[in-house]
């Protein structure tokens, strides 16, 4: 799982193996150690809600993605379009844009017989 954070934008990019884990009903978890300062744990899961949910604390994030939307997205792969959501904040300026996509480069290379 890769995370990209820029201002009020959070991009979550997973590979196809992690997508298979999600679709099988499992969570995908990861962490980032910021040198000796602190660590952030991230858990990604599917949920029945139609909107994503972000919960947790500064050092432990729980991200729930809408299962139906992720399954529809998986059926359209490979695609450059990801799932995009706007999570409301305390004020209008605090809304967080969440982008979820799947990196399919490895399987595209295999399908086309290219070497990495």
pLDDT (tens, 9 = 90+) of the chain, 116 residues, equals: 999 999 999 999 999 999 999 999 999 999 999 999 999 999 999 999 999 999 999 999 999 999 999 999 999 998 889 999 999 988 777 899 999 999 987 655 555 555 55
Q: How many domains does the chain contain in total? A: 1
Cβ-contact 6, 94 below 8 angstroms: no
Q: At what angle do helices 67-75 and 16-23 cross, to 10 degrees?
A: 130
The pTM of the full predicted model, rounded to 2 decimals, is 0.85
User: Which range of residues forms the domain containing residue 7?
Assistant: 2-112
Which pLDDT belongs to residue 12?
96
Q: Domain containing 19 — which CATH number? A: 3.30.1360
């Amino acid at each position: 799982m890769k995370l990209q954070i820029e201002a009020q934008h959070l991009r979550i990019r997973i590979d196809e193996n992690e997508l298979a884990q999600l679709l099988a009903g499992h969570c995908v978890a990861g962490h980032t150690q910021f040198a000796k300062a602190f660590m952030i744990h991230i858990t990604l899961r599917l949920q029945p809600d139609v909107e994503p949910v972000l919960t947790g604390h500064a050092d432990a994030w729980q991200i729930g993605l809408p299962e139906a939307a992720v399954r529809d997205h998986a059926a359209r792969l490979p695609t450059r379009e990801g799932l995009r959501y706007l999570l409301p904040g305390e004020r209008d300026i605090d809304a967080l844009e969440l982008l979820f996509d799947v990196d399919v480069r490895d399987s595209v290379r295999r399908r086309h017989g290219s070497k990495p």
